[in-house]
Amino acid sequence: MIKLKCFLASVVFIFSLTPYLYADGNSGCGLGSVLMSGNKGSSAHSSATTSNGLFNNQMFGITSGTSNCKPDSAVENEAKTKLYMAVNYHNLTEEMSRGEGEYLATYANMLGCSEESYNEFGKVTKEKFSQIVISAENSTQLLQNTIDMIQNNKLLKQSCTI
């Protein structure tokens, strides 16, 4: 019986320390984050981290986007951009050929380009239309071609945060 208690105490101790390996000054997300929200100090941080470790719920929270966990913004932005492109493909490519328009400005915005660079973005998409659009077999390839275009343009590379 004593061996079982020691074993269980060891397991609980190990699981309670696991989140500290990933902590960067806060308790992250998970049930502990929800329970301790609004509380400050090391005791709240320790309680939140211990709760996250004991209930081992951070993986669920990260996967589902619940318990104060947010999905990776880069992945989320890429998914939104691909959806936007799929839904607006015809209008977007038409405006790319002209080098201007609302769909094109929205696309530039989704790629993290500053508003000041929209004119350059439009100009370059018009100039490189055949390389960007015509050579693309699908919206994923169109996105990659656009990213390549941004990376190869000095001004856009500085003003777009893809």
What are 82-85's contacts with CB under 8 Å, separation 24+? 82/139, 82/140, 82/143, 84/110, 85/139, 85/142, 85/143
pLDDT at 24: 39
Classify the C-alpha dihedral 15-16-18-19 as positive or negative. Answer: positive
pLDDT at 101: 96
Q: Which of 144, 140, 122 is nearest to 131 (CA)?
A: 144
| pLDDT top residue among 1 and 147 | 147
**153 shares a domain with 121:** yes
The residue-averaged pLDDT of 39-53 equals 65
Residue 24: give the domain boundaries.
2-64
**138 shares a domain with 80:** yes
Which residue, 16, 32, 64, sits at the end of a domain? 64
**What pairs with residue 113 in β-bridges?**
160
In tens, the pLDDT along 104-144 reads 999 999 999 999 999 999 999 999 999 999 878 888 899 99
In tens, the pLDDT along 54-93 reads 666 666 666 556 666 665 556 677 888 888 988 999 999 9
**What is the total count of domains within the chain?**
2
**154 shares a domain with 126:** yes
**56 shares a domain with 15:** yes
Q: Which of 68, 73, 46 is nearest to 58 (CA)?
A: 68
**79 shares a domain with 60:** no
pLDDT at 123: 97
**51 shares a domain with 22:** yes
Which residue, 46, 64, 82, sits at the end of a domain? 64
pTM of the predicted protein model: 0.57
